[in-house]
């Protein structure tokens, strides 16, 4: 039991020393674990032997063997226990030596690690300081450049704003001039509106007069056409009677035939003249329609219309008089031939 207590104390010391020493680094922990495992394996083998011997002793006691055998076995057991005690003492001494060596190694490794970490920290801090210094210099240069750019941009904006203000002033002057021009134009528009109203009234009066004159011309043309139609009907009746007399008098002379042919030619001419008169009437009607369509236009002159109407009336009168003269001559010729 005392040997077990000593082993447990040494194992606790070794485990506590190894745990305290191996905490800083992983490499020291790995080496300490390898050493303690080999030593504890030896201790486990010795303990297993002790357990076997105790089991034998218990089996001997339980079997109630002979006292001689028990005494011999007890002697053997005592000798084994003594040998085990000596072996365990040696193992404990070795464990203590190993733990001291491990502590020294861990201490040296910790010192080396601290030195290396301090060197690395100093190197990194120096590098960071250099980087920060270079970045600060670059930032100062860039800030100076940006400040110069901003100053130049501000100067440009001031120059542009000055020109813009000048342009705005010129535009304001132009706007004032345009307003005055608009006021003048408005006054002119009012005057032109009055003139347009007067011209509209004149056009309305002119259109009314043209309509009245066109209606009068239409009435005159209708009367002339009616009279010419009546005269043509009478002439046709006379011609029919003349043709009947010619048919009855088959023995008439060549003079009567020539006169008849002349009368027929003159009748054809009269028909042509009447067709021309009808065409003129249709033209006059179309012209009157055009005049009605062109009410809103100002290009028609009243005097021209009256002259055209008078000319048409004169031409119609002349044509009608010529037709009447031809009819009278035909009648005279027919009367003379009948005589």
d(CA 169, CA 151): 27
User: Token digits for 137?
Assistant: 């210099």
Per-residue model confidence (pLDDT) at position 22: 41
SS3 content of the chain, % helix, strand, coil (to 5): 95, 0, 5
Per-residue model confidence (pLDDT) at position 20: 39
Per-residue model confidence (pLDDT) at position 338: 55
Per-residue model confidence (pLDDT) at position 16: 46
Averaged pLDDT in 10-residue chunks for the chain of 339 residues = 44 44 47 56 70 68 58 68 69 72 78 82 83 83 83 84 82 82 78 78 76 73 71 72 65 62 70 71 70 61 65 71 71 61
- Residues whose CB falls within 8 Å of the CB of residue 70, separated by 6 or more in sequence, listed in order: 60, 61
Are the beta carbons of 273 and 232 closer than 8 angstroms?
no
User: Token digits for 147?
Assistant: 């400040």
Per-residue model confidence (pLDDT) at position 260: 63
d(CA 77, CA 57): 8
d(CA 269, CA 232): 12
d(CA 3, CA 10): 11
Are the beta carbons of 274 and 323 closer than 8 angstroms?
yes
Per-residue model confidence (pLDDT) at position 121: 80
User: Token digits for 243?
Assistant: 């043709």
What are the φ and ψ backbone dihedral angles of 298, each rounded to 5 degrees? -105, 5
Question: What distances in angstroms separate CA 64 from CA 68, 73, 161, one per listed residue?
Answer: 11, 13, 124
d(CA 174, CA 165): 14
How many C-beta atoms lie closer than 10 Å to residue 50's C-beta?
Answer: 17
Give Cα 99 to chain centroid, integer Å.
Answer: 83
d(CA 68, CA 86): 27
Q: Does the predicted TM-score (pTM) go above 0.85?
A: no
Per-residue model confidence (pLDDT) at position 6: 46
Q: How many residues does the chain have?
A: 339
d(CA 184, CA 218): 50
What are the sequence ranges of the domains in the chain?
Answer: 2-129, 200-338
Are the beta carbons of 319 and 278 closer than 8 angstroms?
no
Per-residue model confidence (pLDDT) at position 203: 72
How many C-beta atoms lie closer than 10 Å to residue 83's C-beta?
Answer: 12
How many C-beta atoms lie closer than 10 Å to residue 127's C-beta?
Answer: 10
d(CA 323, CA 169): 86
């Amino acid at each position: 039991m005392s040997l077990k207590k000593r082993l447990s104390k040494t194992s606790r010391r070794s485990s506590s020393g190894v745990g305290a020493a191996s905490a800083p680094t992983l490499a020291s922990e790995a080496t300490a674990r390898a050493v303690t495992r080999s030593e504890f394996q030896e201790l486990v083998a010795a303990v297993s032997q002790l357990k076997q011997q105790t089991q034998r002793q218990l089996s001997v006691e339980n079997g109630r063997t002979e006292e001689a055998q028990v005494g011999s076995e007890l002697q053997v057991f005592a000798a084994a226990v003594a040998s085990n005690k000596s072996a365990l003492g040696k193992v404990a001494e070795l464990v203590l030596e190993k733990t001291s060596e491990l502590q020294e190694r861990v201490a040296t490794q910790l010192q080396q690690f601290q030195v290396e970490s301090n060197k690395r920290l100093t190197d990194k801090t120096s590098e960071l300081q250099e980087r920060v210094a270079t970045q600060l210099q670059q930032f100062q240069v860039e800030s100076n450049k940006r400040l110069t750019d901003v100053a130049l941009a501000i100067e440009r904006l001031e120059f542009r704003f000055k020109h813009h203000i000048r342009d705005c002033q010129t535009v304001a002057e132009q706007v004032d001039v345009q307003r005055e021009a608009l006021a003048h134009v408005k006054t002119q528009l009012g005057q032109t509106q009055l003139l347009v109203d007067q011209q509209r009234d004149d056009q309305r009066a002119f259109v009314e007069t043209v309509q009245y004159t066109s209606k009068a011309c239409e009435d005159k043309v209708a009367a002339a056409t009616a009279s010419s139609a009546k005269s043509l009907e009478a002439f046709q009746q006379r011609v029919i009677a003349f043709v009947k007399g010619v048919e009855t008098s088959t023995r008439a002379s060549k003079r009567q035939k020539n006169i008849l042919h002349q009368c027929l030619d003159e009748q054809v001419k009269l028909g042509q003249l009447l067709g021309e008169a009808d065409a003129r009437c249709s033209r006059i009607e179309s012209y009157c329609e055009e005049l009605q369509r062109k009410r809103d236009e100002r290009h028609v002159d009243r005097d021209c219309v009256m002259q055209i109407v008078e000319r048409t009336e004169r031409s119609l009168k002349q044509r009608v008089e010529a037709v009447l003269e031809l009819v009278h001559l035909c009648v005279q010729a027919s009367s003379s031939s009948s005589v």
